[in-house]
Chains A and B, each alone.
Chain A
């Protein structure tokens, strides 16, 4: 009996070893992609980023014969990918992950700036225009407590409902609500999509709401929002969040490149560094994608056809 158990255990052991060997053995096959004929772009999950990526991929493929692989990842993850070389560039960074940015750009020096995107980003607190029209003084944060009752929902109970941002977005609203003594409850949105849908719904029903909101944002073409004034941003004023007492920075959105790629990426890297367009340009493409339901490639194609003078400058001479 005993020998049987030992044998069975041995068989089982061999099985598990086999499993390990299998996973390890597979590791023998090695794959490395070379940098210049294929570029991996990290695309955060908002539409503006799709617009960037679509135009860049289309141009690079048509004009420079470089294949672009667009991978969906939000800023925090994108920085890791830039660090490891899994991604070559992110075209629209909102400075939402200062810690990682500092670590990789300043300390490890594996990620380098690719210059400004040209688009200006702005985050703030917003209420719908129809509400602001009725109560003009709601646009100062100091007066929010006057109106908190209008913003109550079943989620927030006795307090006003503050619609927070999706988890990966840079935010310090919780700290602000606490530090300003606002009678609001911070209710986060799990995803941008969820927030957009909820705002769309409330807007249609003409209900009052207070939300973390930003531009450029394609939905601003459909809805009209008015910003609630927050104290002016000074560098570092939002860190740590528990002591934050200021609004958000108005951002020159920035591109970041993997250092290796930046140095050895040749024309492709050159092109990405040159890529720079305006908020209006981006909104045009974004609206085509999200508002009109066009495919990103089609939207990019249309924009490229009509704006040759803008993108001509981006193509490096040697390409």
Chain B
């Protein structure tokens, strides 16, 4: 679009863009006479967008400074500082804290402590045995491949975590996970029930969940930190808030999507609402709920690691501390432990889900249910026995002699790698040179462009794009988001962040599309990629921050690369799936007409998969945005840095508005990249 319009800009005198033009359709019709415009004129929507881009470019050149008018900002620092002070002053005396929040905080801490204590008294043998047994039982508690494989995975994960000398932090993380998953699961379940059964709650909760989805977790770490102080409770509550929505969403989806005929059958047999819920709705939604639980667990894990920033402890802490010493080896080892824990939890829950699935299509031996119950009973008994006598029999932690230290060799390897790639490769330069080029020729112009664009022109563009892609509601939401940013006095910093987000997004989409297309067309590429993508998605982002700096220097590009690493896997996956999911009949038809592979790709697969690809782009937006704060840790600056600073200084007045600004940007980008179908679905 913009490349096509740029030449027009040079020809057109600025006269056309003098005013913001109340009715864009009519005004633009006159100058639109040459080739491009004629093509655009065929579709009024394109015409409007073209006009908006024109206004943006021309006004940017003419005014050269796009700042939000200073008079239109509201002072939010003072009230926030007051609130901050009030919180600090009243934290130990106000009834709200004494009789409510303190209890929550204590319960959270107590719960986690209790589990840590339990793991301690179980000892490493007890934890490994019981963990393996639970995985095996979840897989079906029999000699089937699934059950054995799940159990073996668990055994291997525990052993490797021990061998990597990560036993203690792994147990801490697991303890926090156990409590977080239980709470998030229950909360999600209840909210999901509420919105699955009541339209009113659904209406109430859906925007909340939508917002949660684009809200970077860091945005609410800060208020929690102020209320609960640093430590386990804040980490736990942040985790629960972050991880509950998928469970709630999928529960609601499952309840609403339950086979209507089965439900009607239940009704026709005279089932009461409760009977219908217990005997039909819930069992029918079971699969979705299992999927929700799985997602909730994965989100819990990623948050538990992040929460080390506010005293969560465990593996995240290990990583964070290792980074302080530039000890990539240890950080990576801890990162591997996180990935392993993710593998353990994912395999176990998905095995349980598969078993539920399989039980609907296979006949089981009659006694199997009883055997399974006995196995679970046995696990509980064993748990009690080990808890009672475990500490007497063996040590609570993995024996030190059985560990291998990977730290130093990994450090050396990473250093060698980064040293040689960083610069000085003949002819092509090195990653540092490329990064500098990227900053200079893409990021800097983009940022100055955004800063030069008048706020009203940008709003116009957002409104038009929102209306074009989605609905008028999307464009309204986008504009309100931008206005809020302006009103908070964060326009310039937000434009800086926006330029980075756009840069990262473009890279993510390019990488995602190319790799996705390759892996959709080459079976082997997909097989090789799958574990890599899994690792990229579960590996805590902290781990690769330092190597990235070694490769490209402390700059915005480093933050962008981190964001691309984090966001690309999802886009790759969606692209692959979308291309694979194209109607086979259409593919066959084109093949029968003698289309080449390339023709098939560009004329059939990509156009047909367009909608799914848009969802991929939207997903990319959300994920890139959630990395803004992380990027702030390694030179991203702007809003991300402000949030980090607010967080580490416990400064509400600095952190919160920036957090809100990120959310606003997020909602704005999400809405204008979200195809209208999605916003219309439901009801």
* A and B, direct touch (CB closer than 8 Å): yes
B229 at the interface (CB under 8 A from A): yes
Query: In this complex, what residue of A is CB-closest to B318?
Result: A72
Question: Which of under 10, 10 to 19, 20 to 34, or 35 or more describes the interface residues of B?
Answer: 35 or more
> B190 contacts which of A9, A15, A81, A218 (Cβ < 8 Å)?
A15
Q: How far is the CB of B334 from chain A (nearest CB, A)?
A: 13
Report Cα–Cα, A83/B93, bound state, in Å: 13
> Does A103 contact B88, Cβ atoms closer than 8 Å?
yes
Query: In this complex, what residue of A is CB-closest to B644?
Result: A167
> Does B193 contact A12, Cβ atoms closer than 8 Å?
yes
> Does A72 contact B554, Cβ atoms closer than 8 Å?
no
> Does A154 contact B321, Cβ atoms closer than 8 Å?
no
Report Cα–Cα, A200/B323, bound state, in Å: 14
Near B by CB (< 8 A), chain A positions 4-34 give 5, 7-9, 11-13, 15-16, 18-19, 22-24, 26-31
Do A192 and B324 contact each other (CB < 8 Å), given the known contacts A19-B187, A29-B110, A71-B231? Answer: yes
> B230 contacts which of A16, A73, A198, A205 (Cβ < 8 Å)?
A73
> Does B641 contact A188, Cβ atoms closer than 8 Å?
yes
Report Cα–Cα, A194/B555, bound state, in Å: 10
Report Cα–Cα, A189/B197, bound state, in Å: 49
> Does B320 contact A167, Cβ atoms closer than 8 Å?
no
Write out, one digit per residue, whether chain B residues 527-547 have a CB within 8 A of any chain A CB (1) or not (0): 000000000000000000110
Report Cα–Cα, A100/B308, bound state, in Å: 23
A195 at the interface (CB under 8 A from B): yes
Q: How far is the CB of B605 from chain A (nearest CB, A)?
A: 38
> Does A11 contact B91, Cβ atoms closer than 8 Å?
no
Do A193 and B649 contact each other (CB < 8 Å), given the known contacts A22-B186, A24-B103, A28-B107? Answer: no
> B637 contacts which of A9, A80, A153, A187 (Cβ < 8 Å)?
A187
A12 contacts across to B, CB distance below 8 A: 193-195, 197-198, 200-201
Do A197 and B546 contact each other (CB < 8 Å), given the known contacts A12-B198, A168-B648? Answer: yes
> Does A194 contact B191, Cβ atoms closer than 8 Å?
no
> Does B545 contact A194, Cβ atoms closer than 8 Å?
yes
> Does A157 contact B637, Cβ atoms closer than 8 Å?
no
Query: In this complex, what residue of A is CB-closest to B92?
Result: A84
A197 contacts across to B, CB distance below 8 A: 326, 546, 549-550, 554
Near B by CB (< 8 A), chain A positions 178-196 give 187-196
> Does B554 contact A189, Cβ atoms closer than 8 Å?
yes
B67 at the interface (CB under 8 A from A): no
Write out, one digit per residue, whether chain B residues 614-657 have a CB within 8 A of any chain A CB (1) or not (0): 00000000000000000111111100110011001111000000
A77 at the interface (CB under 8 A from B): yes
Near A by CB (< 8 A), chain B positions 212-271 give 225, 229-231
> Does A154 contact B230, Cβ atoms closer than 8 Å?
no
A27 contacts across to B, CB distance below 8 A: 100, 102-104, 106-107
> Does B198 contact A193, Cβ atoms closer than 8 Å?
no
Query: In this complex, what residue of A is CB-closest to B556?
Result: A155
Do A167 and B648 contact each other (CB < 8 Å), given the known contacts A13-B194, A26-B111, A193-B323? Answer: yes
Near B by CB (< 8 A), chain A positions 267-299 give 289-290, 293
Near B by CB (< 8 A), chain A positions 126-180 give 153-155, 157, 163, 166-168
Near A by CB (< 8 A), chain B positions 402-427 give 407-408, 411, 419, 422-423
> B320 contacts which of A15, A72, A163, A293 (Cβ < 8 Å)?
A72
> A29 contacts which of B106, B183, B634, B645 (Cβ < 8 Å)?
B106
> Does A31 contact B113, Cβ atoms closer than 8 Å?
yes
Report Cα–Cα, A245/B330, bound state, in Å: 41
Do A190 and B92 contact each other (CB < 8 Å), given the known contacts A50-B321, A154-B440, A163-B554? Answer: no
A74 contacts across to B, CB distance below 8 A: 648
Query: In this complex, what residue of B is CB-closest to A21?
Result: B190
Report Cα–Cα, A146/B480, bound state, in Å: 46
> Does B100 contact A9, Cβ atoms closer than 8 Å?
no
Report Cα–Cα, A97/B641, bound state, in Å: 18
A86 at the interface (CB under 8 A from B): yes
> A154 contacts which of B108, B190, B439, B550 (Cβ < 8 Å)?
B439
Write out, one digit per residue, whether chain A residues 37-51 have a CB within 8 A of any chain B CB (1) or not (0): 000000001110010
Do A191 and B634 contact each other (CB < 8 Å), given the known contacts A16-B191, A28-B107? Answer: yes
> B444 contacts which of A29, A50, A157 (Cβ < 8 Å)?
A157
> A168 contacts which of B197, B231, B645 (Cβ < 8 Å)?
B645
Near B by CB (< 8 A), chain A positions 74-92 give 74, 76-78, 80-81, 83-84, 86
> A190 contacts which of B190, B201, B317, B632 (Cβ < 8 Å)?
B632
> Does B633 contact A194, Cβ atoms closer than 8 Å?
yes
A308 at the interface (CB under 8 A from B): no
A26 contacts across to B, CB distance below 8 A: 103-104, 107-108, 111
Report Cα–Cα, A204/B273, bound state, in Å: 72
A13 contacts across to B, CB distance below 8 A: 194, 198
Query: In this complex, what residue of B is CB-closest to A192?
Result: B324
B210 at the interface (CB under 8 A from A): no
> Does A30 contact B110, Cβ atoms closer than 8 Å?
yes
Report Cα–Cα, A71/B312, bound state, in Å: 9
> Does A167 contact B554, Cβ atoms closer than 8 Å?
no
A31 contacts across to B, CB distance below 8 A: 106, 109-110, 113
> Does B650 contact A80, Cβ atoms closer than 8 Å?
yes
Query: In this complex, what residue of B is CB-closest to A9?
Result: B198
B481 contacts across to A, CB distance below 8 A: none
Report Cα–Cα, A23/B240, bound state, in Å: 11
Do A154 and B195 contact each other (CB < 8 Å), given the known contacts A11-B273, A16-B190, A190-B632? Answer: no
Write out, one digit per residue, whether chain B residues 301-329 have a CB within 8 A of any chain A CB (1) or not (0): 00000001011010001001101111101
Q: How far is the CB of B287 from chain A (nearest CB, A)?
A: 21
Report Cα–Cα, A126/B423, bound state, in Å: 25
B631 contacts across to A, CB distance below 8 A: 190
A201 at the interface (CB under 8 A from B): yes
> Does B649 contact A11, Cβ atoms closer than 8 Å?
no
- Which of B198, B231, B550 has the most CB atoms of chain A within a 10 A radius of its CB? B198
> Does B194 contact A84, Cβ atoms closer than 8 Å?
no
Report Cα–Cα, A201/B444, bound state, in Å: 23
> Does A293 contact B194, Cβ atoms closer than 8 Å?
no
Report Cα–Cα, A193/B544, bound state, in Å: 12
Report Cα–Cα, A138/B323, bound state, in Å: 32
B553 at the interface (CB under 8 A from A): yes
> Does A77 contact B555, Cβ atoms closer than 8 Å?
no
Report Cα–Cα, A85/B273, bound state, in Å: 50
Report Cα–Cα, A31/B186, bound state, in Å: 23
A153 contacts across to B, CB distance below 8 A: 436, 553, 555
A166 contacts across to B, CB distance below 8 A: 648
Query: In this complex, what residue of B is CB-closest to A292?
Result: B408
> Does A5 contact B648, Cβ atoms closer than 8 Å?
no
Near A by CB (< 8 A), chain B positions 267-300 give 273, 277
> Does A190 contact B644, Cβ atoms closer than 8 Å?
yes
Report Cα–Cα, A11/B199, bound state, in Å: 12
B320 contacts across to A, CB distance below 8 A: 45, 72
> Does A7 contact B326, Cβ atoms closer than 8 Å?
no
Report Cα–Cα, A216/B313, bound state, in Å: 26
> Does B88 contact A194, Cβ atoms closer than 8 Å?
no
Q: How far is the CB of A115 from chain B (nearest CB, A)?
A: 24
- Which of B194, B200, B408, B556 has the most CB atoms of chain A within a 10 A radius of its CB? B194
B113 contacts across to A, CB distance below 8 A: 31
Do A154 and B327 contact each other (CB < 8 Å), given the known contacts A73-B311, A80-B230? Answer: no
> Does B186 contact A201, Cβ atoms closer than 8 Å?
no
Q: How far is the CB of B404 from chain A (nearest CB, A)?
A: 14
Query: In this complex, what residue of B is CB-closest to A202?
Result: B553
Report Cα–Cα, A126/B554, bound state, in Å: 17
Do A8 and B197 contact each other (CB < 8 Å), given the known contacts A28-B107, A29-B106? Answer: yes
Other contacts beyond A23-B183, A45-B321, A72-B311: 12, CB < 8 A = A8-B197, A12-B197, A27-B104, A29-B111, A30-B106, A50-B325, A154-B444, A188-B637, A191-B545, A197-B326, A198-B554, A201-B553
Q: Can you identify 18 A-B contacts, CB atoms within 8 angstroms?
A: A5-B198, A8-B198, A9-B198, A11-B198, A13-B198, A18-B190, A22-B190, A31-B106, A45-B324, A46-B324, A76-B648, A77-B648, A80-B88, A81-B229, A155-B555, A190-B641, A191-B633, A198-B554
8 A-B pairs with the lowest CB-CB distances in the bound complex, closest first:
A27-B103, A167-B645, A190-B633, A12-B198, A168-B648, A198-B554, A12-B194, A26-B107
